[in-house]
Amino acid sequence: MANKADMLWEDVLELEEAGERQEALDLCRQITRMEPDHAAAWKMTARMTLPAARRGVQDMPTLSQAASAYAALQNVVRLEPEDTESWALGGILLVDHLGMLEEALEWWQQRRQIKPEDVTPLIEQIAILVRLGMYSEASELLEIMFDSGMEQPDRKQLMNMDRVRQMVDKAAKMEKEEIFRPQNPKHPRWEIIGRMKTRKPLSETFFLFTFVAPIVFIIGSIAMSVLGGSQYGFILVFLIILGLFSGISRAGAGLLQKLNRHALDLERAIDVEATSAKICVPTEIRGSKLYNHTIGKRTEAFQDRHSKIIESDEIIDKKWKPKLPDFSNTESWWGEAEESED
C-alpha cells in the first residue's frame, strides 16, 4: 500500500502537468518534510521554485528563488550524486545568479570527487579561476583536464575545453605584467579604471565594423582588381576575403580585450565583492557610466544580492584571498559520510 508521501507525489505530477506550479511546490515541500530523502521531490522543489519558461524563454529568478532552488539542489545531489542536470543547474545558480564563486569552486570539486574523470567540473572551475585572475591554478587544472586518463568528452565538452584553454591563454597574456587584485585599493589598475569610468567598453560588433571590416575591404578590393577577371578568380577572391575576415577577427580579439581591459578589471572587482561579501570598488567609480554598464549586464538576483553587500559597507581586507578547495583531492566526500552513519 502506498504511503502518504507517494500519494502526494502522484498529485504533484498531476499539478505539474496542469501548470499549477505553486500548488505543486507546496506539496513538494510537504513531502520533503515527511521524507527528507525524497530526491525527486527535492528536484521538483528546485524546478517549481524557479520561474517557468515563457514562449521558450527562461525568465530570470529573483534572489530568493535562486537561493531556495540552490538549497533544494544541494539535497538532490546528496541523495542522487549522479544527477548531472542538478549539478549543472546548481553551478549556474551559484555563479550567474548568486555570485558565490568560492562556493561554486567547492560545488564542482564535490562533483569531481564523485566522478574524477568527468571534464565538466574542471571546465567550470577553470572558468571561475580565470575570472578571479588565478592563472597558475587554472593552468594546473588545464593539465588535468587534457590528461589521457579523463573520460572521452563529447562534442560540446570539447568545444568548452578549447574555450577555457583559450580563455586562460588570452587572459594570462593580457595580465602578463601585472594581475589585477581589486582588493588592493592602491593597485595601479584602479587609477586607470578611474580615468576610463566615463567610457563603456567597445562592443564586438562596433570593433568588427570599425577595425576588421575596413582592412578586409581594402585587401579584398586589391585582390579583386588583380584576380577578379575570371569566374575562378572571383571564387578565389571570395575565399581570400572569407579567410581574411576570419583571421583578422581572431587576431583582433586580443586587441579588443586589451582595449576593454578597464571594463574586464571592473568585472573582476564586482566578482570579488560578490564572492567575498565585502566591498572594494572606490566610491568615485561606483555609479559611473562604466560601472552602471558593467553591473547592468548581471542578472536580477546577482544585482539584488550585490546591492545588499554594498549596503553593508564592509570593506574587504587588502590581503583577502579566495578560499580554494583542494583540487588534488578527488576522494569521495559522501562515501565517508555514509561510513560514519553506519
DSSP string covering 296-318: HTS-HHHHHHHHHHHHHTPBPPT
Q: Specify the DSSP element, H or E, that contains 219.
A: helix 213-227
Strands (E), the chain: 53-54, 57-58
- 137 in Cβ contact with 339 (< 8 Å): no
Is residue 9 classed exposed, middle or buried when 0-12, 13-18 and 19+ CB atoms within 10 A define those classes? buried
Q: Which residue has the higher pLDDT, 4 or 310?
A: 310
Give tens-digit pLDDT for 151-171: 999 999 999 999 999 888 888
- Residue 308: DSSP 8-state: H
What one-letter code names the amino acid at 228?
G
The region of weakest confidence among 4-8, 15-19, 227-231 is 227-231
Q: Which residue has the higher pLDDT, 218 or 268?
A: 268
- 145 in Cβ contact with 126 (< 8 Å): yes
State residue 302 phi and psi, 5-degree precision: -60, -50
- 10 in Cβ contact with 24 (< 8 Å): no
Is residue 304 classed exposed, middle or buried when 0-12, 13-18 and 19+ CB atoms within 10 A define those classes? middle
Give tens-digit pLDDT for 99-110: 999 999 999 999
Is residue 101 classed exposed, middle or buried when 0-12, 13-18 and 19+ CB atoms within 10 A define those classes? buried
Contacts of 299 (CB under 8 A, 6+ apart): 60, 96, 97
- 301 in Cβ contact with 97 (< 8 Å): yes
- pLDDT on residue 301: 98
CB atoms near residue 175 (< 10 Å): 17
- 285 in Cβ contact with 193 (< 8 Å): yes
Give tens-digit pLDDT for 54-70: 776 778 999 999 999 99
Task: Find, among 262, 263, 272, the residue nearest to 129 by Cα.
Answer: 272
Q: How far apart are CA 258 and CA 262, in angstroms?
A: 8
Give tens-digit pLDDT for 190-228: 999 999 999 998 877 766 677 667 777 777 777 777 666
C-alpha dihedral, 123 to 77 to 276 to 143, nearest 10°: -20
Contacts of 134 (CB under 8 A, 6+ apart): 322, 324
Per-residue pLDDT for 337 more than 60? no
DSSP string covering 80-109: -TT-HHHHHHHHHIIIIIS--HHHHHHHHH
Per-residue pLDDT for 300 more than 90? yes
126-128-133 Cα angle (round to 5): 90
CB atoms near residue 141 (< 10 Å): 20
Q: Specify the DSSP element, H or E, that contains 201.
A: none
Per-residue pLDDT for 42 more than 50? yes
Give tens-digit pLDDT for 129-154: 999 999 999 999 999 999 988 999 99
Task: Find, among 66, 4, 70, 64, the residue nearest to 38 by Cα.
Answer: 4
CB atoms near residue 258 (< 10 Å): 12
Give tens-digit pLDDT for 311-334: 999 999 999 999 999 998 877 655
- pLDDT on residue 342: 46
What one-letter code names the amino acid at 76?
V
The grid coordinates of residue 300 equal 536580477
The grid coordinates of residue 227 equal 584576380
State residue 315 phi and psi, 5-degree precision: -80, 140
- pLDDT on residue 53: 76
